[in-house]
């Protein structure tokens, strides 16, 4: 035996599912042979013990892997200091490391490539690897929980998969995908062109390899679940927000134990713990819901692209209306472009008509005579209809006719939406609610008016106008219960419903062959939002809705009611003209140097009081001005330039009692942009009163 010095001993970096990077520990001699990257260990933490994952090992001062970024390294060290007592000695500060207590797995629980992805995610989103780990793995897994029953009660009867020959366009796209071992594809196919069929066959062609298929909120995809179940039986694990913690654990374990070949799910399924992944598919890649809006603000699509790169596998992004960024990158050759230009069986695209509500005769507040006539006709022919209004509740505000008072959320700078079913005024930001009074709280007036439209109101109106109609509403309020969405879709399929009415939920992905009419009640809700992506979103949403009509034997018709019929987006929607829209929009983006011509990082500053916010932001502003010089302005600085916009009050000034300011960094080069953001954060490190959120690649600037 010889005396070991500190540097002689084996050290490990342990990642815990908390918002921090890895911590360093010593490994006692008897545990050294058991240490494996990705295995769980039990380690002392603060005053207790915690379960973490071995991120990497350092043996006798020799690192098995070099850390990528020095800033991460620095941060890690400070965290080690705070997490563990650092002993200050006269000349040299030595960090006293503690030993881990046990290794809990014989085999790694988290595959090494997944660990790499988790690290990448923490770093890219200027967050921590620990928070990424927490997002990636169900919490019960760390404690070794076995999971619940894991039986998800969908209908047990599944219709057998239809058998047909692929169209020549499908054939061509599929063979390109099958041929490749790696690389990214954009599958751009008009609505109803058979994209899903290509996904299914590409998965079948993989043989032993595994697939992750992401969809934009599984609640929206009852039909996809059925198609996957009928094709792949019990070889599929499902991930969606309706799972209980126990179900989540058992789905995760099924994947980890190799019992399933496919993970189908929303965002977090991108972290499915497969060992032999061959393919990732992102359906409706343009969907905003791939981005997480709180905590770790990651885009599952972009993390998927990173995962495909790390694992050297192929990835398919599918959409009828690709995001501008994705289409741009496809044009530049970063993704292989695959196109489906026609609907299956050469079915025609639906006719789209803009209904000018300033001129049209109206039967009620929300319905033109024209639209009502069309709905009656569809009903008489045994066809179904979809009606969309992208705003839930009954009316977006109550107003006192005498003094103009409207109810605002006490915690957010947002007017409250009246919900008639619960007779409450709800905040759609923080979910709190109030009960309205009979008299105006301000002037005691008694004339209170409902202003504006919500899904509950257009439902009520339509039922009154056509009483014999069987109507169902689908929005977040009617789909809170587990599987309620699935049931509505089933009822629609089985033709128990004449008209399905709701928010954007009704526009996505469904394949109802008997729907001939799709309508937007009040398109103006979506136009002119103060966001550079608002036209893009409007175009995508209306095109997706139009895509639901006329998928069966009878042709489809689309009616868009609006008070702004000359808005430029409508031209492209009517013409089913994606490329025309793209060309117009990409020019605007270029002019303003918005993505894809730049990248954005948004920093949101949250304060407990309005006055503190103002005072401190003045200071912050001065500090930010000082740190700009190393980063040349965007216009003159070439690719390394960074523009710092703000700080300024955020458009939504208060949410959940926090007063918000924000700052947007814009740059072409991801690295210098990130450096600039780091400098901004560094410059205000000592200000205690701020709660800071960093959003890399933000898609919501409100």
Binding site for Zn ion (CB under 5 A): 409, 411-412, 427, 429-430
Q: Does 193 interact with ligand ADP (rule: CB under 6 A)?
A: yes
- Part of the chain binding ligand ADP (CB under 6 A), chosen from 55-63, 161-169, 331-339, 619-627: 161-169
Nearer to Zn ion, 412 or 519 (CB): 412
Phi, psi (5° rounding) for residue 549? Answer: -95, 140
Given candidates 166, 483, 593, 694, which one binds ligand ADP under the rule CB under 6 A? 166
CB of 513 to ligand ADP, least distance (A): 7
CB of 398 to Zn ion, least distance (A): 16
DSSP-assigned letter for residue 4: P
CB of 174 to ligand ADP, least distance (A): 10
Given candidates 11, 134, 188, 195, which one binds ligand ADP under the rule CB under 6 A? 195
Cα dihedral angle (489, 246, 477, 546), rounded to 10 degrees?
-40
Nearer to ligand ADP, 330 or 400 (CB): 330
Written as six digits, the tokens of 205 are 């062609």
For residues 103 and 43, the answer to whether their CB atoms sit within 8 Å is no
CB of 417 to Zn ion, least distance (A): 11
CA distance 28 to 601: 43
Nearer to Zn ion, 69 or 609 (CB): 609
Nearer to ligand ADP, 493 or 697 (CB): 493
CB of 510 to ligand ADP, least distance (A): 9
Q: Which does 429 bind (CB under 5 to 8 A by kind): Zn ion, ligand ADP, none?
A: Zn ion
Task: Work out the number of other CB atoms within 10 angstroms of the CB of residue 698.
Answer: 21
Q: What are the angstrom distances between the C-alpha of 563 and each of 215, 356, 388, 390? A: 33, 6, 16, 16
CA 263 to chain centroid, in Å, comes to 17
Q: Which does 164 bind (CB under 5 to 8 A by kind): Zn ion, ligand ADP, none?
A: ligand ADP
- Part of the chain binding ligand ADP (CB under 6 A), chosen from 165-173, 252-260, 449-457, 624-632: 165-173
Which of 86, 66, 71, 82 is closest to 128 using CA atoms?
Answer: 71
CA atoms within 13 A on the CB side of 636: 5
Q: Which does 197 bind (CB under 5 to 8 A by kind): ligand ADP, Zn ion, none?
A: ligand ADP
Nearer to ligand ADP, 9 or 191 (CB): 191
Nearer to ligand ADP, 196 or 385 (CB): 196
Q: Does 196 interact with ligand ADP (rule: CB under 6 A)?
A: yes
Nearer to Zn ion, 509 or 649 (CB): 649
DSSP helix/strand/coil, 192:
coil
Residue 605 pairs with which residues in a beta bridge?
661, 692
Task: Work out the number of other CB atoms within 10 angstroms of the CB of residue 522.
Answer: 21
Q: Which does 456 bind (CB under 5 to 8 A by kind): Zn ion, ligand ADP, none?
A: none
For residues 164 and 52, the answer to whether their CB atoms sit within 8 Å is no
Q: Does 595 interact with ligand ADP (rule: CB under 6 A)?
A: no
Residues 6+ apart with CB under 8 A from 625: none
Given candidates 13, 121, 128, 167, which one binds ligand ADP under the rule CB under 6 A? 167
CA atoms within 13 A on the CB side of 671: 4
Q: Which helix (H) or strand (E) covers residue 545, if one does?
A: helix 534-546
For residues 404 and 452, the answer to whether their CB atoms sit within 8 Å is no
CA 210 to chain centroid, in Å, comes to 23
Residues 6+ apart with CB under 8 A from 225: 154, 218, 238, 264, 486
Which of 303, 306, 285, 291 is closest to 186 using CA atoms?
Answer: 285
Q: Does 161 interact with ligand ADP (rule: CB under 6 A)?
A: no
For residues 322 and 311, the answer to whether their CB atoms sit within 8 Å is no
CB of 199 to ligand ADP, least distance (A): 8
According to CB under 6 A, which residues from 403 to 462 bind ligand ADP? Answer: none
Q: Does 229 interact with ligand ADP (rule: CB under 6 A)?
A: no
Q: Where are the alpha helices (DSSP H) in 184-299?
A: 195-204, 222-232, 245-256
CB of 160 to ligand ADP, least distance (A): 12
Site string for ligand ADP, 493-522 (x = CB under 6 A): ------------------x-----------
Strands 642-655 vs 599-607: parallel, antiparallel or unpaired = unpaired
CB of 424 to ligand ADP, least distance (A): 38
Nearer to ligand ADP, 191 or 250 (CB): 191
Given candidates 164, 293, 563, 568, which one binds ligand ADP under the rule CB under 6 A? 164
Site string for ligand ADP, 351-390 (x = CB under 6 A): ----------------------------------------
Nearer to ligand ADP, 167 or 669 (CB): 167
CB of 526 to ligand ADP, least distance (A): 22
CB of 658 to Zn ion, least distance (A): 11
CB of 267 to ligand ADP, least distance (A): 20
Written as six digits, the tokens of 700 are 């919501």
Please state whether 646 falls in left (phi above 0), alpha (psi between -120 and 50) or beta: left
Given candidates 13, 21, 24, 170, which one binds ligand ADP under the rule CB under 6 A? 170
* CB-based burial, 551-563: b 16+ in 10 Å, e otherwise: bbebebbbbbbbe
According to CB under 6 A, which residues from 172 to 191 bind ligand ADP? Answer: 189, 191
Cα dihedral angle (20, 26, 32, 37), rounded to 10 degrees?
10
Size of the site for ligand ADP (CB under 6 A): 15
Q: Which does 427 bind (CB under 5 to 8 A by kind): ligand ADP, Zn ion, none?
A: Zn ion
Q: Which does 344 bind (CB under 5 to 8 A by kind): Zn ion, ligand ADP, none?
A: ligand ADP
CB of 190 to ligand ADP, least distance (A): 7
Cα angle 385, 390, 391; round to 5: 120
Q: Which does 170 bind (CB under 5 to 8 A by kind): Zn ion, ligand ADP, none?
A: ligand ADP
Phi, psi (5° rounding) for residue 593? Answer: 50, 45
Nearer to ligand ADP, 113 or 191 (CB): 191
Site string for ligand ADP, 324-353 (x = CB under 6 A): --------------------x---------
For residues 194 and 344, the answer to whether their CB atoms sit within 8 Å is yes
Q: Which does 166 bind (CB under 5 to 8 A by kind): Zn ion, ligand ADP, none?
A: ligand ADP
Written as six digits, the tokens of 380 are 């008489």
CB of 212 to ligand ADP, least distance (A): 18
CA distance 37 to 144: 17
Given candidates 197, 217, 226, 585, which one binds ligand ADP under the rule CB under 6 A? 197
Residue ranges in contact with ligand ADP by CB under 6 A: 162, 164, 166-167, 170, 189, 191-197, 344, 511
């Amino acid at each position: 035996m010889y005396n070991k010095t500190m540097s002689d001993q084996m050290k490990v970096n342990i990642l815990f599912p908390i918002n921090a990077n890895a911590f360093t520990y010593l490994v006692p001699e008897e545990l050294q042979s058991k240490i494996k990257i990705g295995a769980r260990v039990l380690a002392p933490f603060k005053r207790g013990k915690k379960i973490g994952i071995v991120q990497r090992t350092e043996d006798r001062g020799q690192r098995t892997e070099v850390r990528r970024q020095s800033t991460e390294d620095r941060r890690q060290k400070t965290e080690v200091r705070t997490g563990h007592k650092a002993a200050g000695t006269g000349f040299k500060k030595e960090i006293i490391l503690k030993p881990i207590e046990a290794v809990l797995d014989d085999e790694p629980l988290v595959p090494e490539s997944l660990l790499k992805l988790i690290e990448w995610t923490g770093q890219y989103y200027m967050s921590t690897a620990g928070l990424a780990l927490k997002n990636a793995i169900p919490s019960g897994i760390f404690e070794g929980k076995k999971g619940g029953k894991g039986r998800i009660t969908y209908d047990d009867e599944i219709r057998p998969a239809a058998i047909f020959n692929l169209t020549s366009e499908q054939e061509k796209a599929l063979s390109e995908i099958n041929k490749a071992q790696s690389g990214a594809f954009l599958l751009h196919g008009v609505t109803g062109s058979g994209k899903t069929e290509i996904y299914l066959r590409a998965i079948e062609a993989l043989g032993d390899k595994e697939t992750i298929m992401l969809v934009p909120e599984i609640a929206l995809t009852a039909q996809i679940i059925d198609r996957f179940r009928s094709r792949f039986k019990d070889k599929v694990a499902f991930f969606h927000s309706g799972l209980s913690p126990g179900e989540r654990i058992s789905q995760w374990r099924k994947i980890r134990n190799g019992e399933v070949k496919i993970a189908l799910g929303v965002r977090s399924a991108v972290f499915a713990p497969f060992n032999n992944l061959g393919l990732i598919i992102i359906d409706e890649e343009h969907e905003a819901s791939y981005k997480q809006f709180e905590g770790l603000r990651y885009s599952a699509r972009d993390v998927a692209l990173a995962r495909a790169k790390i694992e050297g596998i192929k990835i398919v992004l599918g959409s009828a209306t690709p995001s501008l960024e994705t289409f741009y990158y496809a044009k530049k050759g970063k993704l292989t472009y695959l196109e489906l230009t026609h609907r299956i069986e050469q079915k025609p695209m639906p006719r789209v008509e803009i209904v000018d509500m300033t001129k049209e005769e109206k039967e009620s507040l929300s319905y033109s005579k024209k639209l009502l006539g069309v709905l009656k006709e569809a009903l008489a022919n045994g066809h179904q209809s979809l009606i969309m209004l992208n705003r839930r509740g009954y009316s977006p505000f109550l107003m006192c006719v005498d003094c103009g008072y409207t109810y605002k959320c006490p915690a957010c700078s947002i007017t409250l939406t009246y919900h008639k079913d619960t007779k409450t005024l709800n905040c759609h930001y923080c979910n709190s609610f109030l009960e309205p009074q009979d008299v105006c709280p301000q002037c005691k007036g008694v004339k209170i008016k409902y202003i504006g439209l919500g899904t509950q109101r257009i439902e009520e109106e339509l039922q009154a106008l056509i009483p014999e109609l069987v109507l169902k509403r689908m929005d977040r309020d009617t789909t809170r219960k587990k599987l309620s969405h699935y049931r509505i879709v089933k009822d629609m399929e089985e033709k128990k419903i004449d008209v399905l009415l709701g928010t954007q939920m009704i526009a996505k992905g469904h394949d109802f062959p008997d729907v001939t009419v799709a309508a937007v009640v009040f398109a103006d809700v979506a136009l002119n939002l103060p966001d550079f992506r608002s036209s893009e979103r409007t175009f995508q949403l209306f095109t997706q809705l139009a895509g639901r009509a006329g998928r069966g034997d009878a042709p489809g018709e689309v009616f868009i009611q609006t008070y702004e019929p000359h808005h430029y987006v409508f031209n492209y929607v009517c013409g089913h003209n994606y490329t025309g829209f793209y060309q117009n929009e990409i020019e605007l983006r270029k002019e303003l140097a918005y993505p894809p011509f730049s990248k954005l990082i948004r920093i949101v500053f949250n304060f407990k009081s309005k006055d503190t916010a103002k005072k401190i932001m003045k200071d912050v502003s001065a500090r930010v001005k000082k740190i700009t010089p190393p980063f040349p302005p965007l216009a003159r600085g070439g690719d390394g330039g960074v523009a710092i916009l703000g700080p300024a009050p955020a458009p939504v000034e208060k949410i959940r009692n926090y007063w918000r300011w924000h700052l947007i960094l814009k740059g072409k080069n991801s690295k210098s942009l990130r450096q600039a953001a780091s400098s901004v954060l560094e410059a205000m490190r000592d200000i205690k009163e701020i709660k800071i959120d960093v959003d890399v690649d933000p898609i919501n600037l409100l």
